Structure 1
């Protein structure tokens, strides 16, 4: 079982940084002491403090409390036809990459490279897949570490958003659609974590998938390194408006669904 990418203290820290709130300002707005805030940020679950700081940080109270109490983990999606998920080591963390394929023609597309693509290449060989595309969600080092090796091994072109180009990739404008036999791959801009972050919505298989990179995680989201406001807006308006049974394939942590994140993600669940 892949652990959640973020715990509740990570969620608090990302929201606080995104809103540019100091501890003293956050504590004052929430009506708690700086000492109480410090204890919560260090991992002590003080429900009253969490309930007070949540609205100041734009977080859902119930979802934040559930995360703090260890009560949220997304449902296991089991075997998903046409989707392979790889979770590989990169320095002191793990990172996800994905392989999507049409079962009839065995045409396939790679999404990000992970920290080591050996298992992916073995899977491609075992299933006799023909890699037509390599897509990047964004260009942070952990997501492109094996790009050169994948390109050499598969002969496939690599595609990257024109706003975040790196050598060896072909630029495209978000909104472009790609065809993979009977599968349709629609790209859309979900920047905020990075300048040219892109998500890919895939239809035509037995299940619908959206591969989101670090835009959204189970129970959290990527830090708004480029723009916190844009990250929130894109997740809310572009990813969480997809059908609720859409499988969300994040850059770190376990798979989830749009429906689960609308209920359980503190950044977006306010019921």
Structure 2
């Protein structure tokens, strides 16, 4: 499955301006770029000079932002045995859910439901897997839309962080839940909040390479909007995702799979790695 990037370069500009509380007039005063040119960039006009001038004032990497504007990069395709991505339409966008499983025991674990769990349920049946647990990265509607059906009305235990309210899920505190085991898989929760109150990244070991199910904390070339706290969204990503090995597969809530190493090189929000 080849998915487009979740965000365009102007989405990155808008997210950083909102997160930093910078208006068009503020950015114009700081960068020397006219308010008209800033408005044009936010509407999708590509002007390399403008982008390079405003990027530092938005704490963005200029070269990565310009590359995005010219559609100059997308992550290499990633395939890991025991990992499957399910992409389903939700209103005017699409959303991802994931399944991981141990080939020997056939134990499977789901992460979020997407808008429609039918493809995942069909896949589980086709592969002869046993869905043992469901984990929620966060409880925004597009990520839990089909939880009742995927969990068979609560038959399969679902976990979410205590700050994420969901009637059909058991909650956990990070201090009390160091990790879970399922078959040959180990699942470690890490706090990547900021987009949501209790956003969790689940780091999975036991497959041929490490996998991080990040929800809306991070996207290829972008990140989730800092709806609760932009500063903490940036900080928790740095602490909990970018410290993982470079070959770690990042499974975002929207858009294509990517890796920690590729995001260090190409994500404008993290200039310190360039």
Normalising to structure 1: TM-score of the pair?
Answer: 0.98
* 8 Å contact kept, 1:81–1:207: no
CA contact 2:154–2:168 (8 Å) conserved in 1: no
Q: What residue ranges of structure 1 are gaps of 5+ in the alignment?
A: none
Equivalences for residues 106-145 of structure 1 within 5 A: 106-145=106-145
Unaligned runs of 5+ in 2: none
Q: Say whether residues 1:102 and 2:107 are aligned partners.
A: no
Partners of 1:269 and 1:256 in 2: CA distance: 17
**How far apart are 1:154 and its partner, in Å?**
8.2
Structure 2 match to 1:48: 49
Q: Which residue of 1 aligns with 2:231?
A: 229
- SS in structure 2 at match of 1:164: coil
Instruction: Give per-residue Cα distances to partners, 1:123-169, cap 9 Å, x unaligned.
Output: 00011111111000000000000001111178311101011121111
1:269 aligns with 2:271: yes
Q: Which residue of 1 aligns with 2:216?
A: 214
CA contact (8 A) 1:112 1:143 kept: yes
Deviation at 1:39, TM superposition (A): 1.4
**Aligned partner of 1:254 among 253, 256, 259:** 256
Q: Please say if residues 193 and 222 of structure 1, whose CA atoms lie closer than 8 Å, have aligned partners that are also in contact.
A: yes
Which secondary structure state, in structure 2, belongs to the residue aligned with residue 230 of structure 1?
helix
1:37 aligns with 2:67: no
The question of 1:16 aligning with 2:17 is answered yes
Contact 1:174 1:198 in 2 (8 A): no
Partner of 1:244: 246
Asked if the contact 1:47–1:65 (Cα under 8 Å) also holds between the matched residues in 2, the reply is: yes
- Higher mean displacement: 255-264 or 79-88: 79-88
1:180 & 1:268 partners in 2: Cα distance?
A: 34
Aligned residues: 270
- Normalised by the size of structure 2, how large is the TM-score? 0.96
Equivalent residue number for residue 2 of structure 1: 3
CA offset at residue 174 of structure 1? 2.4
For 1:55 and 1:123, the matched residues in 2 are separated by: 45
Q: Does 1:190 align with 2:192?
A: yes
SS in 1 for 2:231: helix
1:160-183 CA-to-partner distances (Å, cap 9, x unmatched) read 101112111101112520001111
2:82 is matched with 82
Deviation at 1:38, TM superposition (A): 1.2
2: CA distance, partners of 1:132 / 1:149: 14
**Alpha-carbon distance between aligned partners in 2 of 1:153 and 1:189, rounded to the nearest angstrom:** 27
Is the 1:131–1:154 Cα contact (8 Å) retained in structure 2? Answer: no
Which deviates more, 151-160 or 110-119?
Answer: 151-160
Deviation at 1:36, TM superposition (A): 1.1
Give the root-mean-square deviation of aligned CA atoms: 1.1
